[in-house]
Every structure is written in C-alpha cells, then in structure tokens.
C-alpha cells in the first residue's frame, strides 16, 4: 500500500473516531446517530466475518491446490461455474464476505472468470436471502431476478476474465491497498 493511501486512511479513521467521541461528549445529535449506525453495522459484520475467515483458513490448509485447479481452473469449463453457483448459494453476509473468499479461490488456482462469477452469484443467489426475499416480494419476483441475472453474470464474468487474463491481471491479498 502506498504511503499516501496509508496517510489518507489513518486520517479518516482517527478523524472519525475523534468526531464520534466529541459528538457523544457534547451530545451532537447527527454524530450520535452516526455512532449508532457504526455500532449496528459493526456488530452485524462481526457476527459473520470471523466465521468466514475461519472457514477460509480451513479451506487454505485442507483443500489441495490441484483439486481447485481441476474443478475451478483454466480447464474446468462450465463445471467451474456450476461449483461456484452452488458455493455462492450458501454464502452469508454480503459482498464484503465474498471478496476474501474470492481471493482464496483465486490464490488456490481458480480462473478469473469463475472468481468473478462467484462474487456476482453470491450477491444474487444466496439461498436463505432468496427465500426471505420471496416471502416479502413473491416467488415470481425472486425467480425473475435470479433467472435473468445468473446468465448475465456468467457471460460478463467470462468476458471480464478473458480480458484481464490477456493483461496478466492478478488479485492482491487484501493487505496491499
């Protein structure tokens, strides 16, 4: 990570902490509301993130690179997409959980198109979420959303993956930016 980015981040985080502390101290209403938001979303994420990272750790030590390469790698064709659609169906949380998992898949040898399909699919076809959605908006609504978006996600992931592979693109490990 570049020095400038690090400085910006440090300033943002400490500025925010100062703002929240002062707001709470002086009873500044907008600041208090923002603090409540921050606490709410932090707790919501802390319910999921440690679990996600533990599963990532287990995946890293127990799943062999050759297995991932064979099932999700360059030669896996459509099967790779099948696997990530299934995997994404079980994802909890949101996009922010999918990114570290995507990195783990990539670093074990999954091809880029499959990685992008996983990120897209984990946004749209998480099973618990879809059931919840259908209970409020109807089965027809959810079915249309999934049946239209999945093929588009696969096609755009395939194109994006091919384009980036030509440019020798590689994901980074999360500490870099």
Partner 1 sequence: MKYLYVLVGLGVATSFIASREKTFQALRIAARRFLNILPAFLMMLILVSVVLFFLPDEVITAYLGVDNRFVGTLFGALLGSITLMPGFIAFPLCGILLEKGVPYMVLSAFTTTLMMVGVLTYPVERAYFGAKVTIIRNTLSFLTALVVAAATGLLFGELI
Q: Is 33 in the site for partner 1 (CB under 8 A)?
A: yes
Q: Work out the end-to-end distance of the chain between its first and last CA atoms, rounded to an integer number of angstroms.
A: 5
Among 22, 67, 75, 96, binds partner 1 (CB under 8 A): 96
Task: Report how far residue 10's alpha carbon sits from residue 68's, in angstroms, rounded to the nearest whole number.
Answer: 37
CB 45 within 8 A of CB 92: no
Strands (E), 48-171: none
**Phi and psi at residue 75, in whole multiples of 5°?**
-90, 10
CB 85 within 8 A of CB 153: no
Residues 131 to 160 in contact with partner 1, rule: CB under 8 A: 132-133, 135-137, 140-141, 144-145, 148-149, 152-153, 156, 160
Q: Which is nearer to partner 1, 34 or 74 (CB)?
A: 34
> Looking at residue 74, what DSSP letter applies?
G
Residues 59 to 88 in contact with partner 1, rule: CB under 8 A: 60-62
Q: Give the interface with partner 1 as residue ranges (CB under 8 A).
A: 9, 12-13, 16, 30, 33-35, 37-38, 41-42, 44-45, 47-51, 53-58, 60-62, 92, 94-96, 99-100, 102-103, 116, 119-120, 123-124, 129, 132-133, 135-137, 140-141, 144-145, 148-149, 152-153, 156, 160, 164, 169, 171-177
């Amino acid at each position: 990570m570049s020095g400038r980015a690090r400085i910006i981040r440090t300033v943002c985080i400490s500025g925010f902490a100062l703002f929240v502390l002062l707001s709470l101290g002086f009873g500044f209403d907008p600041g208090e509301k923002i603090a409540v938001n921050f606490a709410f979303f932090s707790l919501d994420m802390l319910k999921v993130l440690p679990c996600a990272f533990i599963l990532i750790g287990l995946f890293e030590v127990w799943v062999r690179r050759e297995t991932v390469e064979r099932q999700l790698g360059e030669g896996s064709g459509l099967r790779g997409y099948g696997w990530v659609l299934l995997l994404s169906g079980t994802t909890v949380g949101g996009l922010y959980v999918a990114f570290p998992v995507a990195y783990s898949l990539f670093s074990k040898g999954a091809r880029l198109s499959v990685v992008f399909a996983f990120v897209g699919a984990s946004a749209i076809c998480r099973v618990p979420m879809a059931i919840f959605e259908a209970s409020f908006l109807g089965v027809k609504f959810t079915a249309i959303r999934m049946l239209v978006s999945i093929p588009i996600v696969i096609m755009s992931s395939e194109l994006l993956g091919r384009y980036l592979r030509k440019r020798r693109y590689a994901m980074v490990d999360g500490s870099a930016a």
